[in-house]
Structure 1
Amino acid sequence: MSTPTGPNATVPPRPDARRNASPYLYGQEAAAVARVLESGQYGHSDVTEEFERGVAAFLGVPDAVAVASGTAALHTALLAAGIGPGDEVVVPSMTFCATVQAVLAVGAVPVFVDVDPATLCVTDRLVMEAVDASTAAAAVIPVLFGGRAVDLTTIRAELAARDVVVIEDAAHAFGSRTGQNEKVGASGDLTCFSFGPIKNLTCGQGGAVIPRTREEAAAIRRMRLLGVVQSQAERAATTRYRVEGFGLRYQMSSLTAAIGLAQLPHMADIERTRRTLWRSYQRALAGLDGVRLVDVDPDRSVPHLCQVRVPHRDQVFDELRARGIGVGVHYPPNHLQPAFARWKRPLPATEQVTEEILSLPFHQHLTETDIDHVVCALGQALGP
């Protein structure tokens, strides 16, 4: 792909591309939802459980527990791990606010940690510095930013010795692999996925927890349905059912599970397409001075975002939006948000990159021509 990028370059004609990301559907999703509608069973049902088995089989793990969202996955995983009031949870500020809200929902305290500017992910060194500085660290939530796996192999034994639980926020990373060539979710940690509208695999809305033990799986299944133990079918066949503990309405509906089941057989295509698009951006952006591409490790990841660091980010953002290009910012850092001000601490790398990061349009509707258009416009916005 050859993309003119100089100040006098002509932006290629813009095709009928979508301004912002939207779900990519393969054609079977509508029929799958219609079958559920016709069945009359719209809540948690055998379709949801079939989706759970499909996710577990794809990841090569014994079990997966489907829930209503990625946030619900984080919340129930923290509860299942025994994280509660007064516990400190090490979490990067560079994440969507849902990660932090899940920590607060269990009464725990966020300990914000910095990131590697090249990847926007935490590192083993940064995690251990935060754990050492914490007085009551009970958990670490590495965020697999953009789909990139976070390798904490060198400190796992030390974390375990301190009874610090690792709960992966893998909302961006369904299908990605670790440096040990395991699928994310198969590493033995509690892992939380999101299947929201524009995630690698979409259910329209939904999430899943990969538990470490049968006991954790049972606890999350109980919590996701208001503490009720029996399945829908079991409750329908009896005059009584049991509520055995605290719970929330976090179950995944059969309507959304049906969408996920229609998507799962296409994961190989999803992986291939997203890697191809990310590498196309990588080649096109190579000629732009002052642009640094955030590394998602595309050889192992299924990229969820394509982000660059640019000078004068706000000005570039405004100009590209004015041209109809759906750029964004992922994410304004949480330690600078009013809601989390009491836990603010200096995070120099995060504060630097937050003034530079720009998310380029990245979704499976994109074509090579779209990428040419975006990169050429970015070059013009940056100027000579």
Structure 2
Amino acid sequence: MKSPSRPAVQRNASPYLHGGEAAAVAQVLESGQYGHSDVTEAFEREVAAYLDVPEVVAVESGTAALHLALLAAGIGNGDEVVVPSLTFAASVQAIVAAGARPRFAEIDPDTLCVTGSSVLDALTPDTRAVMPVLYGGRAVDLTDVAPLLAGRGITVVEDAAQAFGSWHGDRKVGAFGASGTLTCFSFGPIKNLTCGQGGGIVPRTPEEADKARGLRMLGIRQSQADRIRSTTYSVDAFGLRYPMSALNAAIGRTQLAHFDQIEAKRPHLWRTYRDALAGIDGVALVDVDVERSVPFNCVVRVRGRDAVFADLQSRGIGVGVHYPPNHLQAAFAPWHRPLPVTEQTAAQIMSLPFHPEMTEQDVTFVVHALRQAVAR
């Protein structure tokens, strides 16, 4: 049995590099063009090809992607966006940044995702968008309520920060723009595909892509290359500074070239946990639909969670809690509504160490410690 001080289990998650990232960044440094450049645009094309979509708009973070997607969809002051409370605060802050109001929705305790019925229960006359969060990489199926949402002019903006590489039916998550869904990815440090920092929007139309590109660059629609060759440029509308740098795009391109390894490693690690956790009384694994997902994490519901959490932390095992409910946060108090399922579930969930550096032996070690902690 290996020591609990090993980094693989000390960390809940960790960036995973394939080895060519440093050289790719060095090449950009030598070029002298560190901001948005042809490297960024090459990354956009390669991600679009991977997803089998016409276009992808790369931005500086997943939060920026959500913010710009809402703005590009026309969501703003006075509008309401349905979102699960059990998500990272970035989902909610993007809504607030757009000038809209979050309307918190319940989750399914088995998947930690919203359902069609929980979305319908949260709708009001002011609802203009729904933001399903693809928790753990699992696709959220809202096809049963899609006609109703479309009929009311409600846009679906997917927070797919954790779901790059996952499938929804026979298409990749992100490939449903034609069905009226805007999808946003995060390429942050510990995501399935990392750029070091970054995000991406899969727009529904060329017009929406053009709007998102203007928004990400201070309302300037000309490319950097065009601006360099010109004596002027035009600022056509409101905009923010959300571009993805060439340095980050270079990391992402290297990551994407090796993404088949991640597509194999993460599901294998999750299945190893699933098998090892079977039969532990008081522990239930949260389902990520592993046959169609590239899992971002491994989350369990644990009886006596807080004591078990403290026990494992004291042994140097990097467990975490993802996430404290947002409807209980002071910043979002104006939009509080009772969510008993979310509150009960949030008091039970715990994230186990989960990243591609881990081995089957690491999983065995973590699960053995978990079994002992639960028994105590």
> What is the TM-score with the length of structure 1 in the denominator?
0.95
The answer to whether structure 1 residue 151 and structure 2 residue 121 are counterparts is no
Matches within 5 A, 1:304-343: 304-343=296-335
Q: Which residue is equivalent to 2:86?
A: 94
The one-letter amino acid paired with 2:227 is R
The 8 Å contact of residues 15 and 370 in structure 1, kept in 2 or not, is answered as no
Equivalent residue number for residue 229 of structure 1: 221
1:117 deviation in Å?
Answer: 0.0
For residues 266-294 of structure 1, what are the alpha-carbon distances to aligned partners after superposition, in whole Å with 9 as ceiling and x for unaligned?
A: 12110110000000000000031110000
Counterpart amino acid of residue 146 in structure 1? G
CA distance in 2, matches of 1:209, 1:56: 10
Partners of 2:268 and 2:137 lie apart in 1 by: 14
Query: Does the 8 A contact of 1:14 with 1:370 survive in 2?
Result: no
Q: Does 1:51 align with 2:43?
A: yes
Question: Displacement, 1:16?
Answer: 3.5
Q: Which of residues 280, 286, 289 is equivalent to 1:294? A: 286
The partner residue of 1:358 within 329, 350, 358 is 350
Distance (Å, rounded) in 1 between the aligned partners of 2:261 and 2:19? 14
Which position in structure 2 is the counterpart of 1:6? none
Match for residue 158 of structure 2?
168
1:185 aligns with 2:177: no
- Aligned-partner residue type, residue 326 of structure 1: G
Q: Please give the secondary structure, in 2, of the residue aligned with 1:340.
A: helix
Alignment partner of 1:263 is 2:255: yes
Aligned to 1:66, the other structure's residue is in SS state: strand
Partner of 1:4: none
Q: Deviations over 1:221-248 (max 9, x none)?
A: 0010111111111111111011111111
SS in 2 for 1:273: helix
Tell me the equivalent position of 2:127: 137
| Gap regions ≥5 residues in structure 2 | none
Are 1:320 and 1:327, in contact at CA under 8 Å, matched by a contact in 2? yes
- The 3-state SS of whatever aligns with 2:171 is coil
Cα distance in structure 2, aligned partners of 1:226 and 1:13: 51
> CA deviation digits over 1:24-64, x for unaligned, max 9?
10011000000000000000000000000000000000000
CA RMSD of aligned residues (A): 1.0
Task: Indicate conservation of the 8 Å contact 2:131/2:159, yes or no.
Answer: yes
Distance 2:82 2:255 in 1: 33
- Post-superposition offset of 1:12: 5.1
Runs of 4+ in 1 over 3 A off after TM superposition: 11-17
CA contact (8 A) 1:17 1:370 kept: no
* Alignment-mate amino acid for residue 342 of structure 2: T
Q: How far apart, CA to CA, are the structure 1 residues paired with 2:230 and 2:257?
A: 36
Task: Name the counterpart of 2:196.
Answer: 204
- Distance in 2, Cα, partners of 1:353 & 1:261: 38
CA contact (8 A) 1:12 1:372 kept: no
Q: CA deviation at 1:98?
A: 0.5
d(CA) in 2 for partners of 1:305, 1:184:
17
Amino acid at match of 1:161: G
Q: How many pairs were matched up?
A: 371
Letter of the 1:202 counterpart: T
Q: Work out whether 1:250 is the aligned partner of 2:242.
A: yes
Kept after mapping to 1: 8 A contact 2:4/2:316: no
Provide the rounded CA distance (Å) in 2 between the counterparts of 1:148 and 1:215: 29
- Alpha-carbon distance between aligned partners in 2 of 1:355 and 1:48, rounded to the nearest angstrom: 41
Matched residues in 2 for 1:198 and 1:287: separation? 30
What amino acid does structure 1 have at the position aligned with 2:155?
V
Q: CA deviation at 1:342?
A: 1.3
Deviation at 1:17, TM superposition (A): 3.5
Look up the SS of the partner of 2:185 in the other structure: strand
Given the alignment, which residue of 212, 227, 241 partners 2:233? 241
* 1:33 and 2:25 matched: yes
Task: Note if contact 1:147-1:172 (Cα within 8 Å) is conserved in structure 2.
Answer: yes
